[in-house]
């Protein structure tokens, strides 16, 4: 996975928070993080998976925040998806 695609995975994980089962449900339903990012707030709400807090974070956390994390933490870029949560633990605690 390249940095372009990874930034959406990191962005979504920042929005959902550490340990979120929503992330796994979205992937099971073949909803890619880039698809979620491209949705309007009302479209995200219609998906039905997100809490009000998660929806609020999606409006506040920028894709640039995710890019900064990738640049500062190159180990994240090569991490398997299942370990992104662990690799970003310190950063997730900031949000």
3-state secondary structure the chain: CCHHHHHHHHHHHHHHCCCCHHHHHHHHCCCCHHHHHHCCHHHHHHHCCCCHHHHHHHHHCCHHHHHHHHHHCHHHHCCCHHHHHHHCHHHHHCC
Confidence of residue 82 (pLDDT cuts 50, 70, 90): very low
Q: What's residue 79's pLDDT? A: 56
Summarised one tens digit per residue, pLDDT across range 5-62 is 889 988 998 999 877 888 788 878 888 899 999 999 999 999 898 999 999 999 999 9
């Amino acid at each position: 996975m390249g940095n372009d695609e990874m930034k959406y995975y990191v962005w979504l994980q920042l929005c959902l928070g550490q340990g979120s089962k929503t992330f796994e449900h979205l992937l099971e339903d073949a909803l890619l993080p880039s698809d979620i990012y491209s949705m309007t707030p009302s479209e995200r709400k219609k998906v039905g998976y997100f809490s009000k807090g998660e929806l609020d974070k999606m409006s506040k956390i920028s894709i640039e925040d995710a890019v900064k994390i990738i640049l500062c933490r190159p180990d994240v870029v090569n991490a398997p998806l299942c370990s992104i949560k662990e690799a970003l633990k310190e950063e997730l605690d900031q949000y």
